[in-house]
Each structure stands twice: as C-alpha cells, then as structure tokens.
A and B are shown apart, each in its own frame.
Chain A
Amino acid sequence: MKRDEGMKLLENGKRLDGRALDEIRDVKIEVGILKRAAGSAYLEWGNNKVLAGVYYPREMHPKFMRDPTKAVLRCTYNMAPFSVDDRKRPGPDRRSQEISKILSEALSSAVIIEDYPDAGIDVSVEILQADAGTRCAGLTAASVAIADAGIPMKDLVSSCAAGKIDGEIAVDLMKEEDNYGESDVPLAILPRKKEVVLLQMDGKLSREEFKRAYKLAFDGAMKVYEIQKAALLSSMNSVKGDGE
C-alpha cells in the first residue's frame, strides 16, 4: 500500500502510538464468557477484539475425514463484516481459509488429539474488530478457550508478530504499521519447550533482520503467555473458594 509522502512510522525511536520497538500493545483476556461453548475466551489486543470458543470433542463429520488414531481439530477463523473499515463480505475468503488452516495445524500441535480417536474438535475464532495481528490474537484466544474447556493440551499456544517499519524491526505491528510496513513475521510457540507451531513471513528481510524479528516476536509471545496464565488462574480462582 502506498502512503502519503512524508508520513513517518518512527519518530525518535517511538512509534505512532508511542510504543518502543520491542513493546507489545496491551493484551487483556477474559476466560469463559460464553455459556453454550464448552470453553471460551474474549481477548483485546490493542484495538483488536477477538472471541474464541470450542466445543467438546464429538463425532467427526464428514465420516471420511475421521482418523482412528486421533481427533481432527478444525479451527475456523472468521472476520466479521464490520470488523474492518471497508465492509468485508461475509463468509470465508482465501485469506481466512489459509489462516483457518494454519491455526488448525498450530492448535493440533498443542492439543493431545491422540486422546480422542475418530472424533472432531471444532474451534471458532471470531474477529469482531481488526487492527493487524488478528491471527496471533485469535490463536492466543483459542488456546485459552481450549484450556477453559478442559480439553488436554501439552502446553498453551502463545503468539505474537514482528515486522519491519521504516527500516527498523519492531514487534506487534498495528494497522498503520502493517499497511505501510515492509515485512511481517507472525509466530506462535509452545512456551514450555520454546517450540514453534506457527511461522509465516512476507516481505524482504536479510537473515540478520529475520533473526531480530524472530527474537522480538518470541519475546512478545512470552509476554502474552504470562497474560494467558494469569487469566486462566484468575478464572479458576473466581470459582475455587478455599477448597475442600
């Protein structure tokens, strides 16, 4: 996308919203806010607003997709028509189909799908308001929703992106930076073993720049991990009382 002449994304090392290059936006997570879903999470990440929900494993349909060795986890990423400035046509476009696929694969790498032979696990990610970084926000929310449902996982999935703006590598790009930035690297990890379950990149990065972007995104995901843990613990605390 072309930007107006003279528009700067960086001024004295600060970004448009005053953040430093290695600073992520505010992330807030609420656990278990839907009644019907087995597990759910609402997440605000800067100006992103995301809702994730999951149902218990159930019989897999269509039948030919069943796998007798494990469950098939399907994540559907959907952007609400009103989530962006220009109304998005409802339904899956090519971008959301691709994101659905990589989110499904990332979550399947964390959920203990072997516990549910022949079953299907449906995860929904609804983007209610979009401001860049929605796939990371959606994945982060989805893993909290799965934990909320009590579906066993090897680890939570924590996610964050990094990119390049005005020649500098920066973490967690917001909309304007994403539009006019030069590169984007979304990442998702299993924090306990520091393993990668989602990685994409587009743009132009040297190997050194990629290394820097990877580190910033990784550190950002670790910060998100702390927020996920705190949200889960506080949701459990609110129902726990003092135990018996």
Chain B
Amino acid sequence: MIDVKDRELVFPGRILGDGGGRGGDSFIDGGHIVSSVDGMVRVKGNRVDVIPFRGGYAPKESDVVIGIILQVLRGSWLVDINSFSKAYMRGEEATRDALNSDLSRYFRVGDRISAKISEVNELKSSQLIRPWRLEDGIIIEVNPKKIPRVVGKKRSMLNMIREKTGCRIVVGQNGRIWLKGNNLETAIKAIRKIEREAQSRGLTNRVGEFLSNELQSR
C-alpha cells in the first residue's frame, strides 16, 4: 500500500507506504518504505518514486559528466567530476601504449573534458571512457538534481536553447554545463531560470518566450 498522493511533498523520515515498488532516495525500515530526502513523490500504481529537490552528484554508470583533469598518473588520469569520490580514466582512452607514453601529451592537469562513466565500484569511485576535450567556452555548475529539466523530455529544452541562442552546449549529469558561442549570457540566464523554476508546469514554453524576448532586446 502506498500512503502518499502523487505529487505530494515529502521530507526525510516520511513513511511512503508498506510495500510496492520504489526508486532511489528511499529505503526500507520495519516493513515501511521511507523517504530519505526532501522531494516530491510520483506514484504510479503500486510504485512510488521520490524526485529529490536538491542534492550533490553521486556517480552512476553510463552518465555523461564534465570533468577536470586533476593528476596525470602512470597509465591513467585522475579526474574531478564534482562528486565526493574521484574518477579515473585509463590512458588507453587516448593511446594504445599508455604505460610508455607521456599522457600529458593528450590531457594535462586542468584540462576539461566530457566523458562517459563506464563503471562505478563499491567505493563509488568511477571509471571514465570516451573523453572529449572541451576547448574554450565556460563551465557553469547547477544543482545536479535539476539537470533532467535542463535537458527536457527527449532533449526538447536543451535543443530549444541551442537553436535559439546558437550556443554549443554540453550538459554533464554531474551538474556541470559547458557553453560556447555568442549568446552565452542569455543561455546561462535561461538555464538559471530552469534551475529556479524546475518544478513548475509549462516551463519549456516560458523559457522559449524568455529566450525570444532576451534575444530580441539585444
């Protein structure tokens, strides 16, 4: 039995039900499903999911993230991915003979990349693959929990911002967004607006109007 209504707001320790399916950000205690965070629940039949309002980034397999090279090691790189745990990337991602190469020829400390997480181990440290160098531009950080709204359903929101501003944008699931192009400030304003109003209805249309107005007044 699910004890909460769809879209109800919950807080840590709130009992959501006595059984049924559940997603992350909840746990089982004494036969109850309990929320572990602030958020909104979505109820579908006998399943309850907590959509958290806020939170840091916890690495997940197959996420695309934006990272910064922290250290060039022997045969691999150590990469910051805006999380409590570190990410590693094998030298083989850049060269076949990684152990005998100077890896700083490919990526140096401070270089910014987008990459995919191929594996997260039990200590939550992750392995990165398929790095892509992010040259120039700017990286902003937003609440990682709001990234799904920045991307939108079927990438609708992101594509709209790209089209209207003409910016190149790479969105990392870890809350980092890389932007490059002429209308960069406008794109950032739109993203901040999405972050602020993430929970409200009709957001895509409002952001569309906002972008049109901003770009016109230039």
Interface set, chain B 161-217, CB cutoff 8 A to A: 196-203
CA distance A153 to B15 in the complex (A): 13
A200 to B86, CA, bound (A): 39
In the complex, whether B38 has a CB less than 8 A from a CB of chain A is yes
With beta carbons under 8 angstroms apart, the residue of A112, A117, A233, A237 that contacts B36 is A112
Interface residue SS majority, chain A: loop
**B55: nearest chain-A partner, CB-CB:** A150
Asked if B102 is at the interface (CB within 8 A of a chain A CB), the reply is no
Nearest-Cβ distance from residue A58 to partner chain B, whole angstroms: 5
Which residues of B from 62 to 111 have beta carbons under 8 Å from A?
Answer: 84-86
Which secondary structure characterizes the binding site on chain B? Answer: loop
**Are B12's CB and A155's CB within 8 A?**
yes
Given the complex, which residues of A lie within 8 Å of B117, measured CB to CB?
none
| Nearest-neighbor residue (CB-CB) of B201 within chain A | A244
Residues of chain B within 8 A (CB-CB) of A57 are 56, 84
Cα A118 to Cα B85 with chains together (Å)? 8
Q: Confirm or deny: A193 has a beta carbon within 8 angstroms of a beta carbon on chain B.
A: yes
Answer whether A154 and B124 are a contact pair too, CB < 8 Å, given A38-B56, A192-B15: no
Minimum distance in angstroms from A188 CB to a CB of chain B: 14
Known: A118-B123, A150-B56. A236 touches B84 (CB 8 A): no
B9:A56 contact, CB within 8 angstroms = no
Nearest to A229 among chain B residues (CB) is B11
- Whether A59 and B86, one on each chain, are in contact in the complex, defined by CB atoms closer than 8 angstroms, is yes
Number of A interface residues, CB 8 Å? 41
Residue in contact with B40 in the complex, picked from A39, A110, A148, A236, CB distance below 8 Å:
A236
Q: Is A68 an interface residue (CB 8 A)?
A: yes
A154 pairs with B27, CB closer than 8 A: yes
Pairwise interchain contact B11-A147, C-beta atoms closer than 8 A:
yes
Contacts A154-B29, A154-B34 given; does A243 touch B56 at CB 8 Å: no
Indicate if the CB atoms of B13 and A153 lie closer than 8 Å: yes
Contact of A152 among B36, B123, B145, B200 (CB under 8 A): B36
**Least distance between B153 CB and chain A CB atoms (Å):** 10
Nearest-CB distance from B52 to chain A (Å)? 5
Q: Which residues of B contact A7 (CB under 8 A)?
A: none
Confirm or deny: A128 has a beta carbon within 8 angstroms of a beta carbon on chain B: no
Contact B86 A233 (CB under 8 A): no
- A74 CB, min distance to chain B CBs, angstroms: 14
In the complex, which range does the number of interface residues on chain B fall in? 35 or more
Instruction: Tell whether, in the assembled complex, residue B53 and residue A116 are in contact, meaning their CB atoms are under 8 Å apart.
Output: no
What's the least CB distance linking B191 to chain A, in Å? 16
Kindly state whether residue A191 has any CB partner on chain B within 8 Å.
yes
Q: How near does chain B come to A35, taking the closest CB pair, in angstroms?
A: 12
Known: A154-B27, A156-B12. A239 touches B199 (CB 8 A): yes
Q: Is B7 an interface residue (CB 8 A)?
A: yes
Bound state CA distance, A119 and B124, in angstroms? 10
Q: A147-B38, A151-B55, A244-B203 are in contact. Are A116 and B84 (CB under 8 A)?
A: yes
A227 interface residue (CB < 8 Å to B): no
Q: CB distance B53 to A150 under 8 Å?
A: yes
- Whether the Cβ atoms of B122 and A117 lie closer than 8 Å is yes
Within 8 Å of chain A (Cβ to Cβ): is B25? yes
- Which residues from 138 to 157 on chain A have a C-beta closer than 8 Å to any C-beta of chain B? 146-156
Interface string of A173-214 (1 = CB under 8 A from B): 000000000000000001111000000000000000000000
| 13 additional contacts (CB under 8 A) given A150-B38, A192-B13 | A39-B54, A57-B56, A112-B36, A118-B124, A150-B55, A150-B56, A151-B37, A152-B25, A156-B11, A229-B11, A243-B7, A243-B200, A244-B199
Selected A-B contacts with CB under 8 Å, 14 pairs: A68-B123, A71-B84, A116-B85, A118-B85, A150-B37, A150-B56, A156-B13, A192-B15, A193-B29, A193-B30, A233-B11, A236-B38, A241-B200, A244-B203
Residues of chain A touching chain B, judged by Cβ–Cβ distance below 8 Å, are 38-39, 56-59, 68, 71, 110, 112, 115-119, 146-156, 190-193, 229, 232-233, 236-237, 239-244
Q: Which A-B residue pairs are the 10 nearest by beta carbons?
A: A150-B55, A241-B200, A155-B13, A56-B56, A152-B36, A150-B54, A119-B84, A57-B84, A153-B12, A244-B201
